[in-house]
Amino acid sequence: MLTPSTAAYATVFAVAFGVTLVLTPVAGWLARRLGALAQPDERRVHKVPTPYFGGLAMLLGFGVALLVASRMDAFGAVFSAPRACIGVGLGAAIACAVGTVDDVRPVSPPAKMSGLVLAGCALYLFGASMVILPLPFGDSDVLLGPDMAPLVTVIWVLVMANATNFIDGLDGLAAGIVAIAAGAFFLYGYRVAGVDVIRPDNPSPLLAVIVVGICIGFLPYNFHPARIFMGDGGALMLGVLMAGSTMLVGGQSPNQFSGRVFFFYLPLIPIVIMGVPILDTLWAIIRRARKGTSPAHADKDHLHHRLMRLGHGQRRTVLILWAWTGLLSAFVLFPVYTRKLDAFVPIGLAALGLILYIYLHPGVRRTRDVEG
């Protein structure tokens, strides 16, 4: 089986981009007709009612691009056994449906969580799951049995979906970060497929490049000042797509490759590349627990809110967080393409995390302001 060519991936990307670009205004028009609008309030930064349903346009862009890929000879190996693609698509549709309902008529956090668990179960049942747990040291791996594999798969879906949803607080922020992260996943998957670490029938690079396409197709309407929001429907869907793409690489291949520790442990590549939203998620949970509020309770203490309080506007804040995600991506991709400097990656990541802590932790910032 031959690995799909760069031109084949470029074609699918173009389809995902074009369909999303065309359908996003239609989704905005439909949201206005149905009254599905994000109203300004004290915890939101936008000033005018803005339509939801951007997630529906992205879901359709994903579906059309996947359908086109299934008709291309270059992806014959991927669709010779299409169960994983079907599972990821089904999980994404479930997450989008749950989030879109919540955008129109808020649902309770347990109900939303149940929907995401159902999406995770769909991924597991169709084979897009975590079945191997690589260890950071040594040459052995842990094979997850039928009792643990579903649990780990669902947990990973919940982590990725909620991380993406938490970071969706400024115009273009979530779409841009996911586009950068998915682009890095694609480069990683394309690289390891070229050296036979994963098989040509692994759909992860294809899924990742489609996610890049739908995010970039959505961004012209979502960058500040946004004319449409992806809403929970889009954010949860993107999280599920990222979860499926990463598990199909990191959770199913025992093969050795440079950078394996960083790209396969649970798998660590999404923790690193998606470091901004995942770190923000952990901080949000801890912050709300200390206040005695629910982890689902919204506030204005996310990383992007703190950057704005430091004096950055919406556009600059978004560009800073895009740059942070791009820097993390480049940092962990470098040893994969060069097979050098693996040992320096954890040191560099720790240094970047320390910088982020110093400048964005509210207690440190308050102390600095008082002393100044």
Q: Where do runs of H (alpha helix) occur along 195-313? A: 204-222, 231-250, 260-264, 268-273, 275-290, 303-309
Please check if 165 is assigned to a binding site.
yes
User: In which residue are the tokens 């500040």 written?
Assistant: 224
The DSSP call for residue 144 is P
Pair 27, 61: CB distance under 8 Å: no
List all residues 6 or more positions away from 60 whose beta carbon is below 8 Å from its beta carbon. Answer: 19, 20, 23
Q: Where do runs of H (alpha helix) occur along the chain? A: 6-34, 54-70, 83-104, 109-125, 149-167, 173-194, 204-222, 231-250, 260-264, 268-273, 275-290, 303-309, 314-338, 344-360, 362-371
Beta-bridged to residue 38, according to DSSP, are 50
Please check if 162 is assigned to a binding site.
no
Annotated binding site for Mg(2+): 165, 232
Annotated binding site: 165, 232
